[in-house]
Amino acid sequence: MCGIVAYLGSREAYPILIKGLHRLEYRGYDSAGVAVINEAGDLNIYKAVGKVANLEQVAAGHDCSGTIGIAHTRWATHGVPNEANAHPHLSQSGELTMVHNGIIENASPLRNQLKEKGFTFRSDTDTEVLLQLIEYTQKKHGVDLVCAVRSSLKKVIGAYAIAVIDRKDPGTLVAARKGSPLAVGLGEANCEFFLASDASPLAGYTNKVVYINDEEVVELRRGEEPAITNLNADKVDVRAKEIDIDVNMLDKGGFPHFMLKEIFDQPAVLRDCMRGRLLPSHHRIILSAVTEHREELIHARRFIMVSCGTSWHAALIGKQLIEQFCRIPVEVAYASEFRYSDPVVGPGDVVFALSQSGETADTLSAIQLASERGAMVFGIVNAVGSSIARASDTGTYIHVGPEIGVASTKAFTGQTTVLTMLALAIGWEKGTVSESLYLEALEALEQIPDQIARILEKDDEIKALAQEYVDKRHFLYLGRGMNYPVALEGALKLKEISYIHAEGYPAAEMKHGPIALVDEDMPVVFLATHHNLYEKIISNMQEVVSRKGKVLAIVSEGDTVVKGIAQHVIEVPHTPNYLCPLVSVIPLQLLAYHIAVAKGLNVDQPRNLAKSVTVE
């Protein structure tokens, strides 16, 4: 998740690039950079760690002139966020420079091949590898830039949106995409070009846009109309569209709130999270942390998961997955409690830190303590290069892109996805998961993004339902087994953004207290998907209905039994039991969102909360 911008035309490029970067900052903001070729043919590159504002400070007072340039705002994947890893990258000769959004999965073997041919590398990034490959191809075969780009892209596996320019040819900009978005805005006489990861940087300049498709390469030449080809150099029609961009919604990718955007991001980002790791066609899950620390993991005495908030709910799911697939005992602790509990922890234990931001103070202190006492620390973090990532001995990033809405959504499903892959990978190495179950799980996990996309189609239905619950003061959320943490998460989402009091419980516990609260004014949300304990959930539901409670149930597609009991049902696709949280949580995210919007509340920045809690 990075943002790229490029310009070629007759205006000064730098202000257009900087404005575009600000609009794409929601895509990542751990470093930024810009490259511009001036009238004299000099290539000037400026980079800074952190936000685009830092880049502006670095570039201030230097030569930023020129009518062609490329720029980037980064969400680190390969390599920590520092200046060397920031884009634009420079080729070996210093002639080509490139920005990239995506992940080149075979960067490591390509890097080795290029090293053998005498190439050296200034950064740890996959981007620099692709750029050097383009330069190698260009020089070896004496071809022009667009040919070199096409032929290099045929050799890479992974996702990319790239923009590359050549100091020796300041009238040409070449760009391409596969898997990562790319739009070209057509300015004056179709010969002025604005290129970006989404259409937002184009606003105010042009409303004529060409969306580049996968495996297409666009060549933009000064004074000429754009030329698009596929990787085999066959010509592709240029399909320009008129679009209407509301400048106020720009950073949210067209959604009214970051939270809704992030809920809708889930199919795409979970594919990113699994890319290069879940390989059903090879019958494998490959997580480098498991490969590198195989022995410590399979022989661990026990696992302990420390985290806070939504990440703690993901940990409760992780416990069930690991115990089922790996038969290793797992404890789940609130990081804030763990750190002050004089915990019995030491060598032979693996402590997992789950954190979206990677900066939560309690979680960081908990792992520092565990580390001091000799445990191995395994980070499951979204923010690359964050404090928790750096303080961990090893880990697996969730790679779901920046999460800006305070109420966590895609990070939760990303953590759950990583925990599932982790449990399966360790279980496979340990021999505690059967081959048939392992293969079934790989295939089923691969289906999850499409299944989530199908649930998102019910957004209007859930929005309409939300209106019926706006005036309620209290909610109960009930689930069992894998759906119990989902009940907790559904309740947390609702209270965080709608300020309605909500409690999550294991459904069977209801009769030990919470049932006293049930009356006609108490909505009870049941997680009643078709999994083990389904019949028992139905009994719990009957107990609520017979006390006049109003039931909203999340059920599996085609369920007829619950329809006869509950006031409202929302259907989700069938999954194996161990994957049900990934689908059953989605309607609860949408329900909380729509209730909060209907109440007129600030969904993205709810009162009293913060996205990254760096204090105790």
Q: Which residues contact 133 (CB under 8 A, 6 or more apart)?
A: 110, 114, 152, 155, 156
Pick from 357, 387, 540, 589 the residue near ligand G6P by CB under 6 A: 357
580 annotated active-site: no
Report in angstroms how near the CB of residue 488 gets to ligand G6P at its nearest. Answer: 12
Alpha carbon distance 274, 57 (integer Å): 37
Quickly tell me which residue has 């009940």 as its tokens: 487
Report in angstroms how near the CB of residue 500 gets to ligand G6P at its nearest. Answer: 17
Report in angstroms how near the CB of residue 270 gets to ligand G6P at its nearest. Answer: 17
Report in angstroms how near the CB of residue 252 gets to ligand G6P at its nearest. Answer: 18
Binding mask 271-310 for ligand G6P (x = CB under 6 A): -------------------------------------xxx
Angle at 610 between CA 604 and CA 614, to 5 degrees: 150
Segment lying near ligand G6P (by CB under 6 A), choices 39-47, 198-206, 406-414, 480-488: 406-414
Quote the distance between the C-alpha of residue 561 and its chain's center: 36
Scan residues 407-436 and list those touching ligand G6P (CB under 6 A).
407-408
Would you tell me how many other CB atoms lie within 10 Å of the CB of residue 367?
Answer: 27
By C-beta, is 377 or 510 nearer to ligand G6P? Answer: 377
Q: Does 137 bind ligand G6P (CB under 6 A)?
A: no
Report in angstroms how near the CB of residue 404 gets to ligand G6P at its nearest. Answer: 11
Scan residues 97-126 and list those touching ligand G6P (CB under 6 A).
none
Q: Which string of b and e fits 313-336 if b means at least 16 CB within 10 Å?
A: bbbbbbbbbbebbbebebbbbbbb
Report in angstroms how near the CB of residue 363 gets to ligand G6P at its nearest. Answer: 5
Report in angstroms how near the CB of residue 474 gets to ligand G6P at its nearest. Answer: 22
The CB-nearest residue to ligand G6P is: 309
354 and 311 Cβ atoms separated by less than 8 Å? yes
Quickly tell me which residue has 């075969």 as its tokens: 141
Quickly tell me which residue has 């697996």 as its tokens: 396
Q: Which amino acid is at 577?
A: N
Segment lying near ligand G6P (by CB under 6 A), choices 462-470, 551-559, 590-598, 608-616: 608-616
Binding mask 303-342 for ligand G6P (x = CB under 6 A): -----xxxx-------------------------------
Helix, strand, coil share of the chain (percent; to 5): 40, 25, 35
Query: What's the Cα-to-Cα distance from 543 to each of 56, 171, 517, rounded to whole Å?
Result: 62, 73, 12
134 and 146 Cβ atoms separated by less than 8 Å? no
Q: Does 609 bind ligand G6P (CB under 6 A)?
A: yes
Segment lying near ligand G6P (by CB under 6 A), choices 31-39, 47-55, 214-222, 356-364: 356-364
Q: Which amino acid is at 242?
A: E
Segment lying near ligand G6P (by CB under 6 A), choices 114-122, 183-191, 405-413, 420-428: 405-413
By C-beta, is 310 or 556 nearer to ligand G6P? Answer: 310
Q: Does 206 bind ligand G6P (CB under 6 A)?
A: no
By C-beta, is 516 or 609 nearer to ligand G6P? Answer: 609
Quickly tell me which residue has 């106020």 as its tokens: 248
532 and 481 Cβ atoms separated by less than 8 Å? yes
Segment lying near ligand G6P (by CB under 6 A), choices 187-195, 400-408, 417-425, 572-580: 400-408
Query: Which residues in 11-76 belong to E strands, given as ranges?
Result: 31-37, 43-49, 68-74
DSSP-assigned beta bridge partners for residue 178: 160
Pick from 97, 356, 387, 392 the residue near ligand G6P by CB under 6 A: 356
Packed helices 258-274 and 435-456: angle between N→C axes, nearest 10 degrees: 150
By rule CB under 6 A, what count of residues binds ligand G6P?
16
Catalytic residue, candidates 2, 64, 308, 580: 2
Q: Does 360 bind ligand G6P (CB under 6 A)?
A: yes
Report in angstroms how near the CB of residue 293 gets to ligand G6P at its nearest. Answer: 22
550 annotated active-site: no
Query: Is the preceding omega at residue 343 within 30 degrees of 0, hence cis?
Result: no
Q: How far apart are the first and last CA of the chain?
A: 30
Segment lying near ligand G6P (by CB under 6 A), choices 24-32, 105-113, 403-411, 530-538: 403-411
Neighbour-count burial of 545, counting CB atoms closer than 10 A to its CB (0-12 exposed, 13-18 middle, 19+ buried): middle
Name the site residues for ligand G6P (rule: CB under 6 A): 308-311, 355-357, 360, 363, 406-408, 609, 611-613
Catalytic residue IDs: 2, 611
